[in-house]
């Protein structure tokens, strides 16, 4: 089997896995709407005794296993790995990280975009790999949009992205010492870096496969020259993400790449607004007095656990997210008008 066939097979497999991950993200959004508040209430009720095993059990109780294909954050794989011998368990977890983690998909996809675009390597892989690389780039954008939507849905239903998706058992233990706001900011920073990194390679791929930008071209034929082109693409990715200074797309392909990065920037703005309102709404919550008895969590019913602490607080939080969506929509409309 030649290198071409290996790359072709690997590209097709990557696209299939990315499509599966996107389907799982959409499934998790549905789970958040139906069970997010119940799950958050159970986590809060068991905060003092939280463990990985209890975390998995709470996900089972709130239909977390119904999230396609392997449950919320593939927790069933982690639980299965914990029941195996330590070496086997570590191999299973490593395989999940390498072949089904969102970050791993991003790394593999940008490598694919580079090797089918850089003059020093593109000639070895033929034209059949290019459509797969383009499909992978589209899936990156859709997956990022799904992640941003997932975060906003989490703020509206659970009140936190970390509680739902960032290892709830560790999150519950850490938030009392580190603080929820700092933990949530890490999510925002990671998503922004991911958007900028993938946007850089999408610009590079687009410019070498029919996309025309007035601000730059990618014509360097050497490996070092291609790295210089990537730096240029990185500059315009940052400029497009944080300002209105786009690389001036000249045709439909280039406009699609630019709009994709602008959409991610707007999504990041909405996520930043939601993260800030988490901090604000958290400070607005009244502190319980010493005379208020603490509930006995072992005797509470499910309806008591999931009862909202304050309807006005919940509606305010949803209003914050809707406000962020409205602001993002206005900014997106203005930016897209500039691209026409």
Closest of 263, 262, 251, 248 to residue 211, by C-alpha: 251
pLDDT in tens, 278-306: 666 554 444 444 444 444 444 444 444 44
Measured over the CA atoms of residue 77, residue 82, residue 83 and residue 87, the dihedral's sign is: positive
Higher per-residue pLDDT: 48 or 97: 97
- Which pLDDT value is given to residue 246? 83
Percentage of the chain modeled with pLDDT above 90: 32
Residue 23's pLDDT is 92
- 67-88 average pLDDT score: 87
pLDDT, mean of residues 69-77: 82
Please spell the DSSP secondary structure of 273-334, one letter per residue: HHHHHHHHHHHHSPPPPTTSPPP-GGG--HHHHSS-S-HHHHHHHHHHHHHHHHHHHHHHHH
Mean pLDDT score across all residues of the chain: 79
Q: Full-prediction pTM beyond 0.85?
A: no
Average confidence (pLDDT) over 145-153: 83
Q: Counting every residue, how long is the chain?
A: 340
Return the pLDDT at 166: 57
């Amino acid at each position: 089997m030649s290198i071409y066939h290996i790359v072709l097979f690997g590209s097709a497999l990557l696209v299939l896995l990315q499509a599966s991950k996107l389907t799982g993200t959409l499934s998790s959004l549905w789970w958040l709407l139906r069970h997010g508040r119940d799950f958050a209430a159970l986590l809060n009720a068991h905060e003092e005794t939280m463990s990985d095993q209890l975390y998995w059990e709470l996900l089972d109780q709130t239909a977390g296993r119904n999230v396609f294909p392997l449950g919320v954050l593939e927790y069933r794989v982690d639980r299965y790995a914990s029941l195996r011998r330590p070496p086997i368990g570590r191999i299973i977890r490593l395989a999940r990280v390498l072949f089904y983690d969102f970050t791993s998909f991003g790394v593999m996809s940008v490598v694919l975009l580079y090797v089918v675009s850089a003059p020093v390597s593109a000639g070895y892989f033929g034209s059949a790999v290019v459509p797969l690389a383009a499909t992978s780039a589209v899936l990156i954008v859709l997956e990022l949009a799904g992640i941003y939507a997932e975060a906003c849905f989490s703020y509206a239903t659970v009140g936190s992205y970390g509680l739902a998706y960032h290892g709830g058992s560790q999150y519950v233990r850490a938030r009392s010492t580190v603080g929820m706001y700092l933990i949530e900011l890490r999510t925002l920073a990671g998503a922004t870096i991911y958007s900028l990194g993938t946007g850089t390679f999408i610009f590079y791929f687009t410019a070498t496969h029919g996309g025309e930008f007035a601000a730059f071209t990618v014509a360097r034929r050497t490996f070092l020259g291609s790295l210089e082109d990537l730096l240029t693409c990185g500059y315009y990715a940052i400029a497009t993400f944080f300002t209105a200074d786009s690389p001036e797309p000249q045709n439909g392909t280039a406009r699609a790449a630019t709009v994709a990065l602008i959409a991610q920037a707007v999504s990041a703005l909405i996520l930043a607004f939601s993260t800030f309102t988490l901090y604000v709404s958290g400070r607005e919550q009244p502190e319980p007095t010493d005379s208020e008895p603490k509930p006995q969590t072992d005797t509470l019913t499910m309806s008591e656990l999931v009862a909202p602490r304050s309807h006005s607080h919940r509606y305010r939080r949803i209003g914050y997210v809707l406000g962020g969506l409205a602001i993002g929509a206005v900014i997106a409309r203005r930016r897209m008008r500039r691209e026409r």
